[in-house]
Amino acid sequence: MVTGVLFTVVSRGYFRFFWFLAFLIFLLTGCGNQPDGPLSRSKSGMSARVVEVIDGDTVRVEFLSGPAVGLKGRGSDVSGLQSPVQVSPVEKVRLIGVNAPETGGKGQAGELFGLKAKEYTKEHLLNRVVTLEFDVVYRDRYGRLLAYVYSEEKLFNRQLVEDGYAQLYTSPPNLLHLEELLAAQREAVRSGRGLWGVRDFHSGRVVGNRRSFVYHRPGCNHLPSLANRVWFDSEKEAVLAGYRPCKSCFRSPQKAGNRR
């Protein structure tokens, strides 16, 4: 069932040298003042149509063409093995670096803003042709593709965070657009956009894990080892630094049930 046609996409290797050259030219010609920041809007990706929006940060896509040229995916699957990016004709895609509130299933209340986030993603991506860009790890342990989704030249992952429909989800080693996403989140928090407008921050100190980017209440059972602890004076400070809440000690009160 799962087999089907696999497209093989060439990545890495000699592209590294190409990017190095491109970077040199970029430096020498001094054209570094793009309005959108230092990250290029590379077209190197795969074109696909969004056929279903599962929730705010997860969609199903149908690939339109075979192998794309110059794919940025540096290519390893969840096992960490370096390999070419392989995709099936239809794939479930989890957006990298963002986490939209859950929509809730049968008998679940769903998180605040979960349905709104889903609507927002539907409005912007459903039935659109998008470009997928990959990072170091391109598939998660549930078999979903991990990607940055560009719609009309814009990085939708960023847009989702910027408008307050998703929280930044820092997930090493997929950090290609971290700075851009973090800047978007800071902006959203400061302006109280979307979910940030209805969210209360814990005012006491919280403990961050510098490896996983998760923060905890000081009494949590899942505190990181001493060497990996980063202290923040408040929850808001941790959020502004790109950390996300522990699901155990910062469990959302709107969430009635467990969902992966």
Is there binding between residue 220 and Zn ion (CB under 5 A)? yes
- Examine residue 249 and tell whether it contacts Zn ion (CB under 5 A): yes
Q: How far apart are CA 238 and CA 257, in angstroms?
A: 26
**CA-CA distance, 76 to 78, in Å (whole number)?**
7
Please, which residue, 112 or 220, has the CB nearer to Zn ion? 220
What's the closest the beta carbon of residue 238 comes to Zn ion, in angstroms? 12
Q: Find, among 201, 199, 161, 153, the residue nearest to 179 by Cα.
A: 161
Question: Smallest distance from the beta carbon of 141 to Zn ion, in angstroms?
Answer: 21
Exactly one of 248, 257, 258, 259 binds Zn ion (CB under 5 A); that residue is 248
Q: Peptide bond preceding 38: is omega within 30 degrees of 0, i.e. cis?
A: no
Q: If binding is defined by CB under 5 A, does position 216 make contact with Zn ion? A: yes
- 258: closest CA among 54, 101, 55, 105? 105
Q: Binding residue for Zn ion (CB under 5 A) from 222, 236, 240, 256?
A: 222
Residue with smaller CB distance to Zn ion, 11 or 99: 99
Of residues 46, 68, 246, 255, which one binds Zn ion by CB under 5 A? 246
Q: How far is the CB of 108 from Zn ion (least distance, A)?
A: 22
Give the C-alpha distances (Å, rounded to integers) separating 253 from 16, 163, 167, 228.
Answer: 46, 23, 17, 28
Q: Site size for Zn ion, by CB under 5 A?
A: 6
Nearer to Zn ion among residue 34 and residue 248 (C-beta): 248
Closest CA to 199 of 254, 125, 142: 254
Interface with Zn ion (CB under 5 A): 216, 220, 222, 246, 248-249
